[in-house]
Chain A
């Protein structure tokens, strides 16, 4: 399935990219599974998205947890815990 992936703050800096479009070969894909798939691509991705780090996710502009199942053509964002205000 085709997905738009966005990165913010420290994760964006580590990956040196703020957005990419990926094609993932999966029938049912959770946010955690997507994160693992992206992390497995190279050392830089592995460090930025590693599972023991507090990474938050949003799908189509709503915060979700790792078990959320992603649909085709979604926008998925990965970012550190928010620090506004």
Chain B
């Protein structure tokens, strides 16, 4: 938790990260930036999915619809916050010449998306019957 708070401070202190270690090859930094953008797109897709659930499934019961939409929006928020955190950790690891950080997040996100997909199937079937 303390490490996380320190990371959050670094998000807002751009000078601090440039003081550590040496500047890596710009191509590595750009690759890291593209990975960050890919995660940000994933987050935007989840948020768009939340809006879409709210918009395009009007026949669902309100609780189901709001629950699914909020779950997708929440996943989008988590994904985007994790994107900037992971980008910064990678950037710092490259500057210090350390190994890149590993993460359980992709696996967790996959499982969550699978669960949401199953829930969607159930919801659509139930919605049609009702």
A and B: real partners? no
